C-alpha cells in the first residue's frame, strides 16, 4: 500500500483472513473472518493515497456476513450494536455510541499485526444530526474503524444528508455490482440489516442502513443491527 503497488498485485474483491478474538459490545467474537478489498487509494484527494480500504465481509466458507448479537432487532442491552443507546441521531456519527464504543472495541479484538498497520482515515459524515438537511453539518472525523456511509455503498443519496456525497465516493467493490446483502455471522441462512454511519437527514432519530434485500433504508438509532466495519491500511 505504501509503495503504491498494491493495485498491481491484487484486485478489488480479493480477501485476506483475520483471526478476531475479543468482546465487542455484547458479542464475543472468536474466529477467522475475511476482509475484502473495497478499493485502492479510495477517494484519495480527501482520504489519502497509497492505501488499501477493507471491509469485514466474509466468513471462512465465503459467505457474506455482518456480525449480529443477541439483541438483533431489539432495543435491550445498551452494550449491543446500536448507533445510540437512545432513539435519536443527535451528534451524528461523531458522537455516536457505535463510533465511540463499539468500533474501538473491534480494533482491540484484531491481532496486533493488523492493529499496527491500520491507520486513521479522514471520513466526512453528518456529525450533528437533529433532523435538518443542512450542508454545514457535514464535517470530518479521523477513524481507524468506521462504518460505511450510504453513498459509499449505494452510489446515490436516498436518506442521508445531501451534502455528504460532496466529500465521498462509492467504493469500487459496490460500484462493480457486488452484492450489498449480508447474512448473520451466526446464521448464514438469514439475511440481516446492517448499519451505516450516515444519519437520516430528517427526522431526528434514524440512521441509515442496508436492508435485507440490499436496498437503502433507515432504522431507529437504538436498534441493534448488523455490524460490518471498514478500515484503511497505509
What is the chain's mean pLDDT, rounded? Answer: 97
Contact (CB, 8 A) for 193 and 217: yes
Mean pLDDT of 51-63: 97
List pLDDT tens digits, range 139-164. 999 999 999 999 999 999 999 999 99
Question: Does residue 76 have a pLDDT over 80?
Answer: no
The residue whose grid cell reads 455484547 is: 26
| Cell, residue 48 | 489519502
DSSP letter for each residue of 211-225: -TTS-EEEEETTSB-
Contact (CB, 8 A) for 100 and 83: no
* Per-residue confidence (pLDDT) for residue 232, from 0 to 100: 98
Half-sphere exposure of 118 (CA within 13 A, CB side): 24
Confidence band for 77, pLDDT divided at 50, 70 and 90:
confident
Whole-angstrom distance, CA of residue 136 vs CA of residue 141: 14
* Per-residue confidence (pLDDT) for residue 81, from 0 to 100: 97
Query: Is the pTM here over 0.75, yes or no?
Result: yes
Whole-angstrom distance, CA of residue 75 vs CA of residue 69: 12
Mean pLDDT of 217-226: 97
CB atoms within 10 A of CB 17: 11
Amino acid at each position: 500500500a505504501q509503495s503504491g503497488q498494491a493495485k498491481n498485485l491484487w484486485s478489488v474483491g480479493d480477501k485476506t483472513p483475520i483471526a478476531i478474538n475479543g468482546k465487542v459490545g455484547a458479542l464475543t467474537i472468536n474466529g477467522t473472518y475475511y476482509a475484502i478489498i473495497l478499493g485502492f487509494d479510495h477517494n484519495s484527494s480527501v482520504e489519502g493515497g497509497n492505501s488499501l480500504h477493507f471491509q469485514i465481509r466474509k466468513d471462512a466458507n465465503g459467505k457474506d456476513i455482518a456480525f449480529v448479537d443477541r439483541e438483533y432487532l431489539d432495543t435491550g442491552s445498551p452494550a449491543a450494536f446500536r448507533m445510540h443507546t437512545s432513539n435519536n441521531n443527535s451528534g451524528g456519527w461523531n458522537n455516536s455510541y457505535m463510533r465511540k464504543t463499539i468500533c474501538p472495541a473491534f480494533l482491540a479484538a484484531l491481532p496486533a499485526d493488523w492493529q499496527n498497520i491500520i491507520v486513521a482515515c479522514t471520513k466526512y459524515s453528518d456529525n450533528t444530526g437533529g433532523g435538518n438537511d443542512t450542508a454545514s453539518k457535514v464535517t470530518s472525523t479521523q477513524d481507524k474503524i468506521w462504518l460505511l456511509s450510504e453513498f459509499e455503498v449505494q452510489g446515490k443519496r436516498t436518506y442521508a444528508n445531501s451534502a455528504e456525497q460532496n466529500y465521498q465516493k462509492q467504493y469500487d467493490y459496490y460500484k462493480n455490482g457486488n452484492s450489498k446483502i449480508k447474512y448473520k455471522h451466526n446464521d448464514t441462512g438469514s439475511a440481516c440489516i446492517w448499519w451505516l454511519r450516515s444519519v437520516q437527514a430528517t427526522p431526528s432519530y434514524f440512521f441509515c442502513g442496508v436492508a435485507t434485500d440490499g436496498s437503502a433504508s433507515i432504522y431507529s438509532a437504538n436498534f441493534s443491527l448488523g455490524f460490518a466495519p471498514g478500515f484503511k491500511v497505509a
